[in-house]
Structure 1
């Protein structure tokens, strides 16, 4: 069966961090949550993946981040895993697949892999086994009303039913919003970019 992966990240943030491109001292885009869906050729969900990650540089989440994502300090402390372990596991989930993001989340993923390796930690299942692609320009071209929206609001922009339980800025919900948008666009006659589907 031909499948591909869509993913979304939630990473440490502070009020104003986006506008400053995380340029303030001590601000790093450390991954706190990874969500992903494996989809088939009809963009139907075959498998879900979700994991919480313990940030290293800023282990205490900002109030801004918690309010935005709904991810609590307690949940990360109790359920979060070390970054290298989470990254390796996720890259294993992606092995042999095209991996689509709505934006440049693969850059944040790369930063986090680099930091883990710089700390001397082993990250299993590197990038070479997967093909990462930012598909936001494709979505925005086909549905211009999505251009200013984050991935968690795609379903609303396309007037689709709520795709899953939860809210935007939760990685897995955002993935379901992403998948719903892809299903809709393909049902309307769009073809996924060449090479997305893999056996």
Structure 2
């Protein structure tokens, strides 16, 4: 079965941080939640999913702003959060030998966090080289201009699609993945259309990527 992965991240933030590109002293985009769905390349149906909370190191206490935005509470993160290197390695293992798509440049934030973990002397299992990362936001925005100001978790609404059945809402990484998945399913209905063509070419054009057991071991 040919498959690909959609993923989304949530990371530390503060009021005004996005507009200032996290340039204030001590403000880093430390990942606090990673989610991903493995989709069948022919139907875009969900084959498997991944989700992990991640404990930030530089700013271990979440700002009230990001807790309200994401719904992630400090106690939940303290209890269930995984060390960054462990969570990142598990996620990269989920993505191994796959084309990995996002709605935005989440792969840049992912790379920052892998770099910080390695600079602390932590070993991150797996790596980027066995996967192909693609930002689909420019294509989606060009095909559906109404999405230009929408985040991943609002794509379903902007496109007039039924709400995904996943728990949570926008800025919950797993919900955002489901929202992106239903958007891709809608925009990729035409086998000769640009979404379907790009994903198919990416999956089949990356040597050996995309063929996995539909029931992968965890």
TM-score band by shorter chain is: over 0.9
Which residue, out of 172, 175, 182, partners 2:174?
172
Q: Look up the match of 2:25.
A: 25
Q: Look up the match of 1:115.
A: 116
Q: Look up the match of 2:37.
A: 37
| Length-normalised TM-score, structure 2 | 0.89
Q: Look up the match of 2:6.
A: 6
Could you tell me which runs of 5 or more consecutive residues in structure 1 were left unpaired when the two chains were aligned. Answer: none
Alignment of 1:1-199 (within 5 A): 1-41=1-41, 42-164=43-165, 165-189=167-191, 190=193, 191-193=196-198, 194-196=201-203, 198-199=210-211
Could you tell me which runs of 5 or more consecutive residues in structure 2 were left unpaired when the two chains were aligned. Answer: 205-209, 212-218
User: Structure 1 stretch 184-193 or stretch 135-144: which is displaced more?
Assistant: 184-193
Structure 2 counterpart SS, 1:124: coil
Cα distance in 2 for residues equivalent to 1:20 and 1:96 = 35
Cα distance in 2 for residues equivalent to 1:183 and 1:67 = 30
1:192 is displaced (CA, Å) by: 4.0
Cα distance in 2 for residues equivalent to 1:35 and 1:87 = 11
Structure 2 counterpart SS, 1:195: helix
Number of equivalent positions: 199
| Length-normalised TM-score, structure 1 | 0.98
